[in-house]
A and B are shown apart, each in its own frame.
Chain A
Amino acid sequence: MAHDSGAERERVRGAGASVAQGDTEERLLPALELAFAPLHKAAFGTATGVAGALLLAALTVVKILSPRAQDFPLGLLAQYFAGYSATWGGVLVGAVWGFTVAFVAGWFVAFCRNLALAIVVFTYRTRAEIAQTREFLDHI
């Protein structure tokens, strides 16, 4: 009888532990999702695009207005950015090109960052699963 009661206690404790584990997972999952949240690629690309557009436009404006910058060969950017020149029209063209190039770069950075994060999460999960099933044969 004492043996039965001990086994029953073990069974109840096991069930309790299982429920507690499920409960903990339920509470942890949203927090983990936040901790490993990916970057919003379009938003990050747009943000870097805005910064790139402002940078190129500001450089062009300084080049036009400042006598010191007259010798700076900013116009060489036309080799890559079709239609660009160090003129007032070039400010707009440069801003468009700056946004485009920086958007692509930012989008790609966010993509690579999300990919690296996904690989890290996958590694953690795989390690945890292997650790959980390591003693699987002992329980058969």
Chain B
Amino acid sequence: MTSPQDVKLQSTLLSLNARAWGIAFGLVLGGGLFLATLFLVVKGGPTPGQHLQLLGAFFPGYRVSVLGSLVGFVYAFVMGYALGRIIGEVYNRLALR
């Protein structure tokens, strides 16, 4: 495996797909916040999710409600996508040097 094509193939196979990592991280974080919010909504009570709703400080518009779970999913997905993308890009730069 010494030709330029082989080297390119090798680095492609060994690298992480940054976009896929971003989507995966985004889905995990987004899905996690979505489910956590819905769980508290379904559970109910006098003040549902009094701690989780503090996330509204960082995610404007987020509340512990059904609509808030969708808003939270979007925010957490975007944040997770950014984190996954950073991990993929930094790994590829370091590991494939």
Contact = CB atoms under 8 A, between A and B. Distances in A.
Interface residues of B, number: 19
A51 interface: yes
B32 to A, nearest CB: 15
A50 B86 contact: yes
Given A30-B1, A43-B95, A46-B94, A55 B83 contact: yes
A72 B86 contact: no
A30 B60 CA distance: 51
A43 B94 contact: yes
Interface in B54-97: 54, 56-58, 60, 79, 83, 86-91, 94-95
Contacts of A54: 86
A47 B58 contact: no
A66 interface: yes
Given A30-B1, A51-B83, A66 B57 contact: yes
B54 A72 contact: yes
B58 A59 contact: yes
A72 B90 contact: no
B71 to A, nearest CB: 15
Interface string A9-45: 0000000000000000000001000110101101110
B56 A73 contact: no
A34 B10 contact: yes
A132 to B, nearest CB: 27
A50 B90 contact: yes
A53 to B, nearest CB: 10
Interface of B: 1, 10, 13-14, 54, 56-58, 60, 79, 83, 86-91, 94-95
Interface of A: 30, 34-35, 37, 39-40, 42-44, 46-48, 50-51, 54-55, 59, 62-63, 66, 68-73, 106
26 contacts: A30-B1, A34-B10, A34-B13, A34-B14, A35-B13, A37-B14, A40-B95, A43-B91, A43-B94, A44-B91, A44-B95, A46-B91, A47-B86, A47-B87, A48-B87, A50-B86, A50-B87, A50-B90, A51-B83, A51-B86, A54-B86, A59-B58, A68-B57, A71-B54, A72-B58, A106-B87
